[in-house]
Structure 1
Amino acid sequence: MSNVLEELKYRYEREVNHGHRSAIKRILEGDASPSTMVVLCVSAIHSTCDMKIGTHSVSINGSENSNAAKVELTDGWYSIDAFLDALLSKQLFAGKLFIGQKLRIWGAGLCGWVGPVSPLETSKTAGLLVHINGTYRAHWADRLGFCKGVGPPLAFRCIKSNGGPVPQTLVRVTRIYPILYKERLSNGGSIVRSVRMETKMMQLYNHRCSTVVEGIISEFQRGTRDSCINNDNDSEEGAKIFEILESAAEPEVLMAEMTSEQLASFTSYQAKLEAIRQSDLQKSIEMALEGAGLSTREVTPFMRVRVVGLTCKSYEGKIHHKEGLITIWNPTEKQQFELVEGQAYAVAGLMPLNSDSETLYLQARGSTTKWNPLSPLAIEHFEPFLNPRKSVLLSNLGEIPLSSEFDIAALVVYVGEVYTAAHQKKQWVFVTDGSVSELGSEEASNCLLAISFCSPSVDDSFAPVNSNLEGSTVGFVNLIKRAKDQMNQLWVAEATENSDYFFSFDLPHCYHLKNAAASAERWAKISSLTIEKLKEKVLFIIGDCKG
């Protein structure tokens, strides 16, 4: 009994007199984030819960989980309930989580919490949301409470697609894809556009809006619209003065004879009248824009980054470089311009979505995701994995596996007409690079590459590719190789959302195409006859050849 009293006295001294608070107390009182790394101990295991908080369902990892388990966690001073996600619940039911076990929890959430509350007064519905991607076994001697430093990152290959947010992991960037824009339509659908197409769409939208606004303003200037002002003494007197001045031959003379009170009433009325006119004009513009289908556009920029997990050199298991594709919504300028292909990063704030046998798909918010580059010294501890971009020649395209990405610099021989298929506008572009110079050789079938471009069919005013590209040397990146057209002896590639093309080769993302582009240009200058024959071949293939 004396030991209990001494313990209570010690805790009173720590909490009340010295203001020391435990981790759970600080979280429940709103002075610490539940996502901070903390070591807690399993103090009790409750039966399976249905995750109902009042009349609302609590979701873990974005989906409701009716088979989640609930345990009690303690920091040695206070306790709190914790709702486990499906994967952690399986670990619990398998006996891998038990009373007395210490857990290192990172990136947890808090549910059923409405505001600062004492741990002794918290409701039974409040608790931590714990997921497997942020939960690790702790050493039995680890101190309970908040961790002073950041723990080791979760290995990329260990990320579970339905295991909740990833506090931190290590990756190497292998590909950075161009910025895209997703527009949400009024019918609930959406459209993804490239920077080039979004710029054209924005110009068209602004032009249509300007036309509508100019028409409404013109109508207001021509028409007479009565504006109603609430009747008060100032407005009534100001209205009378306004009418007198409007009908007067020399209003300046009348104004000079007015008293200061009359001038104040007139000025006040005039200001109110102008404010009402502007309000009416704004409402008319908004109604006209809505009627013309020109409501405010909901457009969100995003970018995709392909990564591969880092493997420590001391790892004794079978090395498998797990790939991931990260979609960053609303990327910051720093992320757009400072992320570098080939660089290794410690990334915090990723949310896995799903996965297949080869790729893990994740998403992130630009403002909440941190990309910290690893130092050269830190990178030395991991297995090397380099896959730099390189320019592919048509003569070597057979070495590229089907469905793989490749980059190429080539001369545009012909830009086909736009046609509609499967609710998309499609267009074929035929290119060559001169790497196979003689049409009569056995390798003549390697001379041409047909690239399929597509864009949303709702963008009626825009072609995926401008016909002015014909005769230009263009750099294409992130094309997908498709099966060869054996009948027409053509290489075939598809330009996806992640594909892009450039005319300048001095930028970092297309500098690797500079030498190939220069070679193609030199070949084009001395091969006009060959290029003409290739164009005739294309026209024959697409059925436009006459004679």
Structure 2
Amino acid sequence: MTSVAAAVYAFPSGWNATVAHADLTRVIDTAAANSCRTFPPVSAKWVRNHYRWIVWKRAALIRAYAVAHDAQNGTYTLRGGTSDAVVQVSVPWTESAVLDQLRYRYEREVHRAHRSVLMKVLEKDEAAHRAMVLCVARRTGPAAIEVTDGWYSAVAQLDGTLARALDRGRLAVGSKVAVWGAQLAASAGDGPVEATAALDAAADFEPDGTEVPLGSTVPALRLHANGVKPARYDARLGAAASPLLPLALRGAAPQGGLVSAVRVQVLRKYPVQYQERRGDGTRVTRNTRDERAAEREYNDQVLAQHCARHVSGAAVVNMEDEELARMCVTGAVDQVVQGADGVERQRILDRLAALPEKVVHEAREALRRQVTPLVRIKVACVMPVGARGGERVRTAVVTCWRPDDALLGEVVEGRCFEVQFLTVSGTYRDQLRFSTMRGTRWRRIDVPAGVRSVFTPRVLLDDYRTLATASAGTEVDLTGVIVEAHFVQGGPTMELWVMDATGVGFVCIKAMERVRLAAFHDRYLAVAGTPITVRNAALAGRIGAVPELRTSYDESEFSVGAAATGKAKLDVAAAVARLDVARHPMRDVDWDAFFASSAGRVDNDE
């Protein structure tokens, strides 16, 4: 029995929703006469709505769990539960049982002012984004379904991800779903009863894709993939017990809307960066070093523009508030005050004292660069085994906008958090990218039982032989000495050939030109023997026997020292020969003979 057929179902005696309305009205009138009170009447629409859901619920229970039928009493024996606790109950399939349910709902809704969660949402007395458990009643269009909380229903418009799940049968009629972050897409002024009546009057969805002609006043919810996940078969319909729906990283969709919560472990916390929004709408992201340089350059330009003008003291006194405020913010007015005599200086100071603070604040904001600090954090999913997406560890990068010192101190590598209220900004290199919002919260949690931690503490490598067994994509921190540094022919990529502390291990670090400009001075390119420390470099492959690392401007850090001299230079000169062999490995190389030769021997004399 479908939910639409339940609304017009008639028992063998001919008892249906119309007769039920008459019987319920008679029961209400009798109770009012016996108690000498006046009870509100019920409409035929109200009875038909609840009749529909009562009949559909009982039919679904009988169809799923019935093991015996007593035709004389009209009852079905249901059996359910688990192997350890079997539950067996009798459910009557009679007119009196449905009427009793109607009387119960009338008592709850009319006398006790109970309202279901969908009724509150449709009447705009409850936020539509709250957590709910709903049941899919029917499909009403290519990307639309009717959902119910057991009391009332509404049309739900699906996004692309949910629409594909509907086509594949992952989202099926009769299944329960936990919903969070829904949006009320249409007017709910007519109320849930009228909306349900309009739904019943519409035709069923046609297989050829024809959409159901719903009324313009039917309230509709917009559902997003990141706010919908399957609920247990025994979950209670209505308001969810938990206000949030933790989602596995594997289940997050790039275009699926907001994510209520994810449970993750911090793998890496990258350096703080700064994103500037320019006047033409473009954005540029800089690291701390570049941001300081850009700030100094901007201040020098602004100061030069206002100080280039030769303004007299009389002109300052008669100047408009806005222009004078700009001179105060840039410091250009200080030069005019210093060059004025006693009387004129006092007039200028009096004029500055009368300048409204609001104007000065507006001028300061107008001249201020629109720079937003951010920090990127690499995380791994810690959903328990058996949960959605818990079988395979998935990583993602969370961009925290405007992080404060408390957050930076709390979010430490290796800790686990439940991060609440995120947006999915897209994917990059097959990795999800999340962004925080104003209401994002980080709640520290323990590592859930049964979850395999993939966190690896940072180790500053000074022996590169351990990279022989590392897999591609592994992030490493290392220190060493630059042996060679040059640009790759035909592109902006720079290659740094670095030697470890043992003198026999080498790596090739490939960095884009932007990284080079942020980390190096040009003189380092021509000087071998420069100590270098690199953090957050990713293993990309091998060049001969030498591991190849790639760096990113957003994640990697470089730290270089002064050029080596004396003995270190001789060590580097010998290292170049060893590096050539490592880059172009040959079979059956006699390393002992090589190091004993003039190319491999290091002269210890100064």
Shorter-chain TM-score tier:
0.5 to 0.7
Whether 1:500 and 2:552 are equivalent positions in the alignment is no
- What corresponds to 2:201 in structure 1? none
Distance 1:3-1:189 versus aligned 2 partners, 3 A rule? same
Distance in 1, matches of 2:388 and 2:354, equals: 78
CA shift, 1:537, in A, is 8.6
SS, match of residue 35 in structure 1: coil
Distance in 1, matches of 2:476 and 2:109, equals: 63
SS, match of residue 551 in structure 2: strand
Distance 1:467-1:333 versus aligned 2 partners, 3 A rule? same
- What corresponds to 1:3 in structure 2? 24
- Opposite residue 90 of structure 1, the aligned amino acid is R
- What corresponds to 1:184 in structure 2? 277
Whether 1:163 and 2:256 are equivalent positions in the alignment is yes
Whether 1:452 and 2:511 are equivalent positions in the alignment is yes
Distance in 1, matches of 2:411 and 2:438, equals: 15
2:130 and 2:243 in contact (8 A); partners too: no
- What corresponds to 2:449 in structure 1? 380
CA shift, 1:104, in A, is 1.8
CA shift, 1:374, in A, is 1.9
- Tell me which of 511, 534, 540 is aligned to 1:476: 534
- Opposite residue 290 of structure 2, the aligned amino acid is M
CA shift, 1:100, in A, is 4.7
CA shift, 1:201, in A, is 0.9
CA shift, 1:407, in A, is 1.0
Distance in 1, matches of 2:288 and 2:314, equals: 40
- What corresponds to 1:66 in structure 2? none
Distance in 2, matches of 1:85 and 1:317, equals: 21
Deviations along 1:376-410, one digit per CA (max 9) or x if unpaired, are 5xx33312323222223245455445554321122
- What corresponds to 2:155 in structure 1? 81
Distance in 2, matches of 1:215 and 1:368, equals: 45
Distance 1:108-1:420 versus aligned 2 partners, 3 A rule? farther
Q: What is the root-mean-square deviation in Å for CA atoms of aligned residues? A: 4.9
Whether 1:36 and 2:130 are equivalent positions in the alignment is yes
CA shift, 1:372, in A, is 2.1
**Which residues of 2 match residues 64-79 of structure 1 at below 5 A?**
69-79=143-153
Query: What percentage of aligned pairs have identical amino acids?
Result: 24
Distance 1:207-1:21 versus aligned 2 partners, 3 A rule? farther
Q: Which ranges in structure 1 are unaligned for 5 or more consecutive residues?
A: 49-68, 230-250, 252-266, 290-294, 437-442, 505-520, 541-547
1:164 and 1:351 in contact (8 A); partners too: yes
- Opposite residue 79 of structure 1, the aligned amino acid is S
Distance in 2, matches of 1:110 and 1:492, equals: 52
Distance 1:275-1:15 versus aligned 2 partners, 3 A rule? farther
- Tell me which of 425, 436, 453 is aligned to 1:365: 436
SS, match of residue 418 in structure 2: strand
- What corresponds to 2:48 in structure 1? none
Distance in 1, matches of 2:268 and 2:432, equals: 14
- What corresponds to 1:434 in structure 2? 501
Larger Rg: 2
SS, match of residue 371 in structure 2: strand
CA shift, 1:14, in A, is 5.3
CA shift, 1:453, in A, is 5.0
Whether 1:219 and 2:311 are equivalent positions in the alignment is yes
- Tell me which of 366, 373, 378 is aligned to 1:306: 378
2:132 and 2:237 in contact (8 A); partners too: yes
- What corresponds to 2:423 in structure 1? 351
CA shift, 1:2, in A, is 3.2
Distance 1:30-1:209 versus aligned 2 partners, 3 A rule? farther
Distance in 2, matches of 1:448 and 1:140, equals: 55
- Tell me which of 507, 520, 529 is aligned to 1:465: 520
SS, match of residue 312 in structure 1: coil
Distance in 2, matches of 1:151 and 1:272, equals: 54
CA shift, 1:36, in A, is 1.6
Distance in 2, matches of 1:161 and 1:365, equals: 14
Distance in 2, matches of 1:480 and 1:121, equals: 60
Distance in 1, matches of 2:155 and 2:390, equals: 39
- Opposite residue 442 of structure 2, the aligned amino acid is W
SS, match of residue 162 in structure 2: helix
- What corresponds to 1:407 in structure 2? 477
Distance 1:97-1:409 versus aligned 2 partners, 3 A rule? closer
Distance in 2, matches of 1:126 and 1:146, equals: 19
1:328 and 1:364 in contact (8 A); partners too: yes
Moved more, 301-310 or 446-455: 446-455
**Which residues of 2 match residues 197-212 of structure 1 at below 5 A?**
197-212=290-305
Whether 1:128 and 2:202 are equivalent positions in the alignment is no
Q: Which has the higher contact order (CA 8 A, sep 6+)?
A: 1
CA shift, 1:141, in A, is 4.6
- What corresponds to 1:439 in structure 2? none
**Which residues of 2 match residues 418-429 of structure 1 at below 5 A?**
none
Deviations along 1:24-65, one digit per CA (max 9) or x if unpaired, are 3433454433222112233453233xxxxxxxxxxxxxxxxx
2:108 and 2:114 in contact (8 A); partners too: yes
**Which residues of 2 match residues 332-343 of structure 1 at below 5 A?**
332-343=404-415
Deviations along 1:445-478, one digit per CA (max 9) or x if unpaired, are x457555353299xxxx75423687777443101
- Tell me which of 266, 286, 290 is aligned to 1:193: 286
- Opposite residue 364 of structure 1, the aligned amino acid is S
Distance in 2, matches of 1:221 and 1:37, equals: 65
Whether 1:23 and 2:94 are equivalent positions in the alignment is no
1:37 and 1:150 in contact (8 A); partners too: yes
Deviations along 1:258-298, one digit per CA (max 9) or x if unpaired, are xxxxxxxxx9xx9899669x979x98x99xx9xxxxx6533
1:413 and 1:534 in contact (8 A); partners too: no
2:290 and 2:518 in contact (8 A); partners too: no
TM-score, normalised on structure 1? Answer: 0.63
CA shift, 1:84, in A, is 1.1
Distance in 2, matches of 1:406 and 1:80, equals: 52
CA shift, 1:198, in A, is 0.9
Q: How many residues are matched?
A: 433
Distance in 2, matches of 1:45 and 1:109, equals: 19
Distance in 2, matches of 1:419 and 1:449, equals: 12
Deviations along 1:408-453, one digit per CA (max 9) or x if unpaired, are 122457887x99986x7x76666544321xxxxxx4xx45755535
1:227 and 1:273 in contact (8 A); partners too: no
Distance in 2, matches of 1:141 and 1:298, equals: 52
Distance 1:75-1:202 versus aligned 2 partners, 3 A rule? same
